[in-house]
Amino acid sequence: MALMTGKEYVQSIRDMDIKIYMFGKRIEDPVTDDILRPSLNSVRMTYDLAQEPEYRSLMTAQSPFIGGTVNRFTHIHESTDDLIKKVKMQRLCGEKTGACFQRCVGMDAFNAVYSTTYEIDKKYGTSYQKNFLEFLKYSQEKDLTVDGAMTDPKGDRNLPPHKQKDPDMYLRVVERRPDGIVVRGAKAHQTGICNSHEVLVMPTIAMGPDDKDYAVAFAVPTDAENLFMIIGRQSCDTRKSEGAPIDTGNPTFGGVEALVIFDDVFVPNDRIFMNGETEFAGMLVERFAGYHRQSYGGCKVGVGDVLIGAAACAADCNGVCKASHIKDKLIEMIHLNETLYSSGIACSAEGTKTEAGNYIIDLLLANVCKQNVTRFPYEIARLAQDIAGGSVVTAPSEKDMEDPELGPYVKKYMAGAEGVSAEDRMKILRLIENLTLGTAAVGYLTESLHGAGSPQAQRIMIMRQGDLETKKSFAKNIAKIKGGKDGQE
């Protein structure tokens, strides 16, 4: 079996014994939990869309490893066309869910680990890529959702891993055995791990020789022994359990993050992809970050499409859709969103082949893409709130609207332009609230800022890859200054 249906995916998660805690209690049935289910639905969409003939070219690919069709979220990029289709697929998924659909991190981890393990093996004669390829084929054949886990808690960020007062602030190997390793630590901000079959763990920073125990990459099932997760709080998260779907803004889809604890988890030898090769930790981080920064030129754009549409609907509801200043704000939102998309496509089209054979994006342009993503969604969100008005945050609840005594007043005074009911207007207002202030704001705004590295991380890479010396030589040549790159004076 290479492609699961959405229904089969949900059942596969139900069949696992993933240890999830929220509000101080273990969630016995995460598949039906009111707060967690919308997040599961977002992942399900990646399976449902792959079944649709209309989207098959974007959502699926041909794997040379298993000789059949696979979901693109498990694919190793074989060309710049694959890289471009990845971005287009992510935009589509964002448009269909208005939320984070959670499989991007695993896909980006697949491609970063694939090329890095090849280069480790080349230097040391290890068998990491062989191990990884078996895991990849297993994931493709079963059509698994794999969470990519990179971010450690970090503790004192001024100190390297081996100098931390608490050595567990970075995930590490605490025991090496003939049959494998035992790891301890945590991974933070893990979007969608509670909806994943496997977790693919990577180091989070470049490391020196003294950090050998921290330079580790591996994969284990998400229901592995001694692995558990604690769901993070989100603004307005308990609205999902109040029985008032209008108040959630997006009653069907969503996303959740978790702090994932590895409390002495055993990893067998055939699931280890790096084990002490510190000089390759930075390579893996840089490649993963590049792929993931490319991803934001697709997924955030798709969610942006939903927000722009919601703002336009709010203008219709308020009877101001023909006002010139409203049109100008919508134009600006579209301009910013398409600029993000352009960056995602550009870094994909300029991709190159790695030594391992898969394709990697242009790293400079990928970092430019993500730097834009740290800014533009915030302006898009501000403009959406501007267009929608104050009722985004002051509208009464759905239960007030349904109350026999209060309802008539709510319906009367929350109604919009002629022909627009209070219910429809409130649905749009709540969707804008959800995307810019509520649970979806985590995936659209905070994730835009900090996901795939903070804004400063991209600026460091832009300076590193911007090749200032070559640019200086261009200027010197034209200005007739000695020292130009081609020797002209």
Q: Which residues are catalytic?
A: 100, 104, 191, 257, 292, 296, 299, 447
Return the percent helix, strand and coil in the chain, to nearest 5: 55, 15, 30
- Between CA 261 and CA 54 the distance in angstroms is 40
DSSP 8-state symbol, 375 = T
Does residue 116 sit in helix, strand or coil?
helix
Q: What angle do CA 46, 49, 55 make, to 5 degrees?
A: 125
CB atoms < 10 A from the CB of 341, how many?
A: 20
- CA-nearest of 87, 103, 86 to 40 is 103
Q: What angle do CA 307, 399, 28 make, to 5 degrees?
A: 80
Amino acid at 260: V
How close are the terminal C-alpha atoms of the chain, in Å? 65
Q: Is 340 exposed, middle or buried (0-12, 13-18, 19+ CB in 10 A)?
A: buried
**Are 283 and 116 a contacting pair, CB within 8 Å?**
yes
Does residue 25 sit in helix, strand or coil?
strand
* Residues near 152 by beta carbon (within 8 Å), at least 6 away in sequence: 161, 169, 170, 171, 185, 186, 187, 188, 204
- Between CA 7 and CA 193 the distance in angstroms is 19
User: Which token pair is 434?
Assistant: 């959800």
- Between CA 338 and CA 335 the distance in angstroms is 5
Task: Determine the angle formed by the axes of helices 6-14 and 37-50, rounding to 10 degrees.
Answer: 140
- Between CA 259 and CA 152 the distance in angstroms is 10
Please report where in the chains the tokens 């300076």 appear, as a residue: 463
**Are 119 and 280 a contacting pair, CB within 8 Å?**
yes
User: Which token pair is 145?
Assistant: 């959702």
- Between CA 343 and CA 410 the distance in angstroms is 44
DSSP 8-state symbol, 79 = S
DSSP code string of 312-359: HHHHHHHT-TT-HHHHHHHHHHHHHHHHHHHHHHHHHHT-EE-TTS-E
DSSP 8-state symbol, 211 = G
- Between CA 188 and CA 153 the distance in angstroms is 6
